[in-house]
């Protein structure tokens, strides 16, 4: 009998293919992943515009074809700005209360052209994706919760999935609100619900994720999202007071900054413990196929969160520029100045601030600086417009 061996992700790079395991059959690979020829793009310049699929201008990297964003019911460019502010009211004490409803469901998503992943997802009726589609939409990553330090946050969590799930928040809260097995409400069974409630501290760039067992499976399947706590400018003085106003979504100074959320993730499409697809916000090469257009005169602030499973380190590199970095986002002044690369272990996160003021218009690449992760999907462009 013929001895057949499964092709690993490293085989794809070694044999010169441009992407992704998880499809079946040679024909499927040849249709979707061999680079096209005859492109007109210059070196380093995407010639596909809004996703034409011709990547000859940058070495044949990328995917051929387009993801069906209507099927997904979310678009990676929308996820950059999908802040969920919840519903606001006041407690009797005068403290602001932000209430959210999060629902865990099972659903399939398309992570690269023709590559479908059986995800577990969080959804929220107050997310921008749900508002856009007129129905509760589950996304990977989940909606980015955004609040202000000192506010009371109340999340009603409903498990409409097929497995026990939780919501665990990185931040400061009582042990019984920790969303881990055996503590407080523990694991929430299918068809059940619970309420997580705490005051929002400290300000910064945080995250939430499922903490059910096996943890690596529940995170990897898609149960995670950003949790941004804005600083309260009234608590700070001097330079920190002025910076806090630019980081607080209720102040006009914040509107002068272009803010984005990028959740770095990976997908093990054949469940062998290795990722075949990498991305920022789930769709391989999403921001290379359709670059992120930015105003060069506007400060760019990226809330960067790594939740990649099965790889110990992920990273960010920005071409032809340097940036300031705020580790975990818990400081108002940079923890790292004038750098062009930063690395993240899983759940590590921070704020990247970069300016292209005075730069010539063009495409400035962003990607992981592990070549394997970049070649399998975590690569894109910031397009500075004239």
pLDDT at 129: 86
> Peptide bond preceding 35: is omega within 30 degrees of 0, i.e. cis?
no
Mean pLDDT of 229-236: 98
Mean pLDDT of 16-26: 37
Query: Is residue 75 scored above 90 in pLDDT?
Result: yes
Alpha-carbon 177 to chain mean position: 24
pLDDT at 49: 42
Mean pLDDT of 279-287: 98
The enclosing H or E element of 375 equals: helix 371-375
CB 19 within 8 A of CB 111: no
Residue 300 tokens, joined:
């760019």
Alpha helix locations (H) across 119-235?
A: 128-133, 215-220
Q: From residue 299, give the alpha-carbon distance in Å to each of 31, 249, 295.
A: 40, 15, 8
pTM comes to 0.87
The 10s digit of each residue's pLDDT in 38-54 is 332 333 334 334 444 44
Q: How many CA atoms lie within 13 A of 81 on its CB side?
A: 10
Mean pLDDT of 359-380: 98
CB 162 within 8 A of CB 191: no
Query: Is residue 6 scored above 60 in pLDDT?
Result: no
pLDDT at 135: 84
Backbone φ and ψ for 254, nearest 5 degrees, come out as -70, -30
What's 102's DSSP letter?
E
Superfamily of domain 69-255: Cupredoxins -  blue copper proteins (2.60.40.420)
The 10s digit of each residue's pLDDT in 323-356 is 999 999 999 999 999 999 999 999 999 999 999 9
How far is 132 from 128, CA to CA, in rounded Å?
6
């Amino acid at each position: 009998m013929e001895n057949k061996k499964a092709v690993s992700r490293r085989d794809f790079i070694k044999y010169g293919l441009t992407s992704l395991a998880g499809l079946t059959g040679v024909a499927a690979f040849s249709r979707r992943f061999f680079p096209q020829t005859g492109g007109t793009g210059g070196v380093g310049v995407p010639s596909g515009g809004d996703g034409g699929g011709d990547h000859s201008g940058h070495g044949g990297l990328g995917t051929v074809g387009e993801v069906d964003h209507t099927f997904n019911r979310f678009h990676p460019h929308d996820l950059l700005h999908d802040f969920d502010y919840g519903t606001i009211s006041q407690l009797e004490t005068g403290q602001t209360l932000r209430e959210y409803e999060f629902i865990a469901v099972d659903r399939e998503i398309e992570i690269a052209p023709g590559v479908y992943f059986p995800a577990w997802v969080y959804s929220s009726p107050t997310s921008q994706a749900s508002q856009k589609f007129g129905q509760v939409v589950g996304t990977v990553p989940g909606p980015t919760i955004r609040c202000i330090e000192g506010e009371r946050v109340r999340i009603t969590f409903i498990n409409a999935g097929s497995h026990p799930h939780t919501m665990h928040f990185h931040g400061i809260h009582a042990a019984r609100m920790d969303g881990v097995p055996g503590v407080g409400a523990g694991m929430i069974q299918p068809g059940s619900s619970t309420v997580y409630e705490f005051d929002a501290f400290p300000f910064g760039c945080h995250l939430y994720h499922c903490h059910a067992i096996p943890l690596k499976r529940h995170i990897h399947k898609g149960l995670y999202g950003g949790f941004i706590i804005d600083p309260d400018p009234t608590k700070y003085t001097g330079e920190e007071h002025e910076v806090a106003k630019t980081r607080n979504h209720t102040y006009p100074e914040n509107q002068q900054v272009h803010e984005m959320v990028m959740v770095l993730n990976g997908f093990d499409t054949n469940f062998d413990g290795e990722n075949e697809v990498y991305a920022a916000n789930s769709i391989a090469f999403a921001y290379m196929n359709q670059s992120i257009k930015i105003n060069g005169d506007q400060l760019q602030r990226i809330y960067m969160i790594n939740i990649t499973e099965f790889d110990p380190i992920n990273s960010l590199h920005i071409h032809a520029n340097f940036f300031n970095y705020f580790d975990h986002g818990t400081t108002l002044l940079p923890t790292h100045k004038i750098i062009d690369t930063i690395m993240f272990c899983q759940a590590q996160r921070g704020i990247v601030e970069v300016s292209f003021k005075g730069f010539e218009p063009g495409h400035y690449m962003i990607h992981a600086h592990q070549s394997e992760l970049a070649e399998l999907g975590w690569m894109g462009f910031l397009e500075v417009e004239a």
